[in-house]
Structures are given as C-alpha cells and as structure tokens.
Amino acid sequence: MLETIQSLSNEVFDDVVQLRRRIHKNPELAFEEHDTAALVQNTLEPLNLDLRTGIAETGLIATLEGGRPGPTLMLRADMDALPIREETALEFASENDGAMHACGHDAHTSSLLGTAMILSRIRDDLHGTVRFLFQPSEEKLPGGASVMIDEGALHGNGQPAPDTIFGQHVQPELESGHIGVCGGMYMASADEVYVTVRGEGGHAAGPHQLEADATLAAAHVLTALQSVISRNCPPDVPSVLSFGKLTADGATNVIPETARLEGTFRALDEDWRFRAHDLIERVATRTAQAYGAEADVNITVGYPALYNHPDPTERVREAALEYVGKERVVDLDPWFGGEDFAFYLQELPGSFYRIGTRNEAAGITHGLHTPQFTIDEEALRTAPGFMAYLTWRCGANGT
Ligand code: NI
C-alpha cells in the first residue's frame, strides 16, 4: 500500500499544485472563505463523498466510508488567509489587496483535497471511515475550530465522534518534504492582555497637584508584572509575558489621564495559564493602587495550549519513518505559536505535525506571517500522500 499511495500522490500532484495556486491567488480572510469553500466543494463532489457544508459559515465536512470496517479518523485543514499585503512576485500572487496566504493554509487545504483524492481511489481497501474537515478562521479569535465544534462538527448529525484527529502545518524552517513531530505539549496558549491605568491628567509642571500619574503607574505595572513569570511560574513550565505596546498619549508638558499596556501571555500548561491570569490582574491593580491610580485588566482568552496525544503522535512518527525515511523525520521542540487545532485535541485524541517547505537554493526561506512567505511546492508531492498513508495505516492497525 505504501508504494500505491506514493504513486497516487505523484498522480494527484499537478492537481494539488493547481488548487494551491488558485487558492493562493484568491485569499479570503477569516469566516469569509466563500470562494475557497466553493472550490473545496467542487473538488470533492466528483469523489462521491457525503458532504456537509455551511458549518461555522464556510466550513465543510466530507465523509468517506472505507470498504472495510475500522475506526473513524478526522483530518483537518484550515482555509483562511491573513491581512498582509503580499510581496512575493509569484505569478499566482494574491489578487485581493491586503489579504495573503502567508501561513500556508492554501497548502493545507489543497493538500487535504489531494488526500481525499488518493483515499477515494483506494476506498475499497480502506479500513473505517475518514472525515475531511475544512475549517474557517484559524487566524482570528475565537477560532473556526471552536465554532465548528459548537456547531456539532465532531458529534453532530447523529454520528459518533471520530476516534482520532490529525492536522498538519507547513514549516519554512524545515527542509521541503521533511516531517516534524513533537509529542506532548507542543504549542502554547495565546491570550491577549490589556491593562488600562487611570490617573488624573494635568500640567506636567505640577504632578504634586494630581491624584495620580497614570504613566508612572503604568511603568511600574509593566515592571512588576515581570515577577509573575519569574516568581510564580513553576520552573518547568515554559511561559512568556510580553508587552509590545505601551501608550500614554500626553505630551512633554501634559500628563495624560490614562496609560495603556497591551501584550501577549503564552504558556504550555492550562492550569498555570489561568492561575497566571489572576496574578496578572492582582499585580497590575495593586501596583497601580500603590501610586494612587487604578488599573483595569482585560484578558482576551485565546487558543488553548496544544497537547499532542502520545499514541496518535507515535502513529505519525511510525508512518513518517516508513513514508519519507528516517533521515527526513525530525523531532521538534515545543514552540510558542498558537493554533486552534488545540480545541480539537481537548475533545479527541490526535496529533498535529509539520511538513517542511523550505528550499534554500530556491530562496524559499521566509518565515510564516511575512509578506515574502511562500512554500516549496515539491512539499505537496509528500504532504497529501503522507496523510493518506497515515490514515490508511491507522485504519489497518485499528486505531
Ligand atoms: Ni497557520
């Protein structure tokens, strides 16, 4: 079956590349992926799958029943683009000004379509059921994954929940066609922290006449908050609190009434994460009080930390060793990006792995979320077939 799937992956390669280019040329932002969803639907229709559309606005789920009994697997791709102006000069560069597939979701969607093409051709030999899930809005809170789950993507329509879910993401730091795997806590929770400090505005020459200087209090709040990670976070829990925006819109001679801090809090532990929220609030409000000011803390709860379950992650590793060979399988360290696939992994066992898209000789080295980002399309020779093989193999092994 390995060779069959590899040759089918070669057969669908041109189609997958064309799909990727069409999606790339017409990037659509979160929850607006109407053309992309239509393209997905049109591509799936000839494959004779059971199709549900319009989940979470533009999401789709296609179900393929294999010819043999076995588990139900779910495979996920995200479809949305980013609000970035593309600077790649590719012939299929974005035609939607200000929108760009700068995170590879064009590759994820086209690759999963390729996987569906491959698996539908070996349907009779497939053990179990495969659900292909195309989701909107990975990039924007609350995340298309959470909305799809709320709308019954996993348990709805009277269907049993899938046994396992897999997802993949391109990685421009990894050589094209390599597969990156990390078990356990792999990606961070990502929450936005907003602190508004209120004092009294007035002439900068007379601070002693004011109740409180919000700017000074905000400076102390910023410094004091550094103790949350250094003094309260367990030393074995990776965690970061960064403030990238500090505004106090007065002037050289004007003390403003308010000052504002905006930052991100990320962690690889869900218990610590919510404990830290309380500490951030306590330290900010009480520090501001010490300077006669008041602080309001607002934390926008983002995606949870992403936990790759051990058994499904081992399946990915084993399948990758067989499919691409051990010199192309890479053990990854955890990283602090956020990813809404984490919501599925709170509901189901599964694993999220990476597919390398770097090609230094071709100058394809730019990072995710940059205007120059692109992928080495040769990775699309590996990605759809690998996911198909992983799926077939899990079914055959009863996982
Ligand atoms: Ni992404």
Instruction: Tell if the pTM clears 0.85, that is, is over it.
Output: yes
Residues 53 and 71 in one domain: yes
Gap from CA of 372 to ligand 1 centroid (Å)? 15
Q: What is the pLDDT of residues 139-180, one digit of tens each?
A: 998 999 999 999 999 986 678 899 999 999 999 999 999 999
If one counts the domains in the chain, the total is 2
Q: Do residues 200 and 250 lie in contact, with contact meaning Cβ atoms separated by under 8 Å?
A: no
How far apart CA 35 and CA 55 sit, in angstroms, is 15
How far apart CA 106 and CA 20 sit, in angstroms, is 5
| Sign, Cα dihedral of 152, 156, 161, 164 | negative
**Half-sphere exposure at residue 239, Cβ-oriented, CA atoms within 13 angstroms:** 24
Q: Looking at residue 14, what is its pLDDT?
A: 98
Gap from CA of 108 to ligand 1 centroid (Å)? 9
Residues 182 and 193 in one domain: no
Per-chain residues with Cβ under 5 A from ion ligand 1: 103
Residues 296 and 315 in one domain: no
Gap from CA of 219 to ligand 1 centroid (Å)? 34
Q: Which two tokens stand for residue 88?
A: 């790649």
Residues 202 and 97 in one domain: no
Question: Which residues sit opposite 129 in a β-bridge?
Answer: 65, 72
pLDDT reading at 398 higher than 80: no
Question: Which residues sit opposite 85 in a β-bridge?
Answer: none
Residues 233 and 298 in one domain: yes
DSSP letter, residue 296? E
Q: Do residues 28 and 99 lie in contact, with contact meaning Cβ atoms separated by under 8 Å?
A: yes
Question: Which residues sit opposite 352 in a β-bridge?
Answer: 167
Q: Which CATH number is 373's domain given?
A: 3.40.630.10
Gap from CA of 4 to ligand 1 centroid (Å)? 30
Residues 329 and 299 in one domain: no
- Secondary structure class of 250 (helix, strand, coil): coil
Gap from CA of 103 to ligand 1 centroid (Å)? 5
User: Could you tell me which residues come within 8 angstroms of residue 223 by beta carbon, excluding any fewer than 6 positions away?
Assistant: none
Question: Which residues sit opposite 170 in a β-bridge?
Answer: 355
Residues in the chain: 399
Q: Do residues 19 and 110 lie in contact, with contact meaning Cβ atoms separated by under 8 Å?
A: yes
Gap from CA of 75 to ligand 1 centroid (Å)? 15
Could you give the C-alpha distances from 171 to 33, 85, 106, 175, 350, in angstroms and in order? 23, 20, 13, 8, 19
Q: What is the pLDDT of residues 304-358, one digit of tens each?
A: 999 999 999 999 999 999 999 999 999 999 999 999 999 999 999 999 999 999 9
Q: Do residues 182 and 334 lie in contact, with contact meaning Cβ atoms separated by under 8 Å?
A: yes
Residues marked as catalytic: 80, 138
Residues 299 and 328 in one domain: no
- Secondary structure class of 251 (helix, strand, coil): strand
User: Could you tell me which residues come within 8 angstroms of residue 229 by beta carbon, excluding any fewer than 6 positions away?
Assistant: 239, 240, 241, 276
| Sign, Cα dihedral of 355, 238, 241, 293 | positive
Average pLDDT rounded to a whole number, residues 119-129 = 96
Gap from CA of 111 to ligand 1 centroid (Å)? 14
User: Could you tell me which residues come within 8 angstroms of residue 279 by beta carbon, excluding any fewer than 6 positions away?
Assistant: 228, 232
- Secondary structure class of 65 (helix, strand, coil): strand
Answer whether the bond into residue 349 is a cis peptide, omega within 30°.
no
Residues 321 and 391 in one domain: yes
Q: What is the pLDDT of residues 38-86, one digit of tens each?
A: 999 999 999 999 999 999 999 999 999 999 999 999 999 999 999 999 9
Q: Do residues 308 and 183 lie in contact, with contact meaning Cβ atoms separated by under 8 Å?
A: yes
How far apart CA 195 and CA 265 sit, in angstroms, is 13
Q: What is the pLDDT of residues 188-201, one digit of tens each?
A: 999 999 999 999 99
Gap from CA of 357 to ligand 1 centroid (Å)? 13
DSSP letter, residue 210? S
- Which runs of consecutive H residues, i.e. helices, occur in the chain? 2-25, 34-44, 105-121, 144-150, 214-227, 270-290, 310-324, 341-347, 379-396
User: Tokens 């930052």, residue?
Assistant: 263
Gap from CA of 352 to ligand 1 centroid (Å)? 12
Domain boundary among 258, 287, 303: 303
Gap from CA of 139 to ligand 1 centroid (Å)? 7
Residues 296 and 376 in one domain: no
Domain boundary among 288, 303, 318: 303
Mean pLDDT of the chain: 96
Residues 94 and 172 in one domain: yes
Domain boundary among 249, 268, 303: 303
Full residue range of the structural domain in which residue 299 is found: 189-303
Q: Looking at residue 391, what is its pLDDT?
A: 97
Residues 163 and 196 in one domain: no
- Secondary structure class of 45 (helix, strand, coil): helix
Residues 126 and 66 in one domain: yes
Q: Which residue type is seen at 198?
A: R
Q: Do residues 116 and 392 lie in contact, with contact meaning Cβ atoms separated by under 8 Å?
A: no
Q: Which two tokens stand for residue 155?
A: 């348990």
Query: In degrees rounded to 5, what are phi and psi of residue 104?
Result: 80, 10
Q: Which CATH number is 281's domain given?
A: 3.30.70.360
Gap from CA of 245 to ligand 1 centroid (Å)? 24
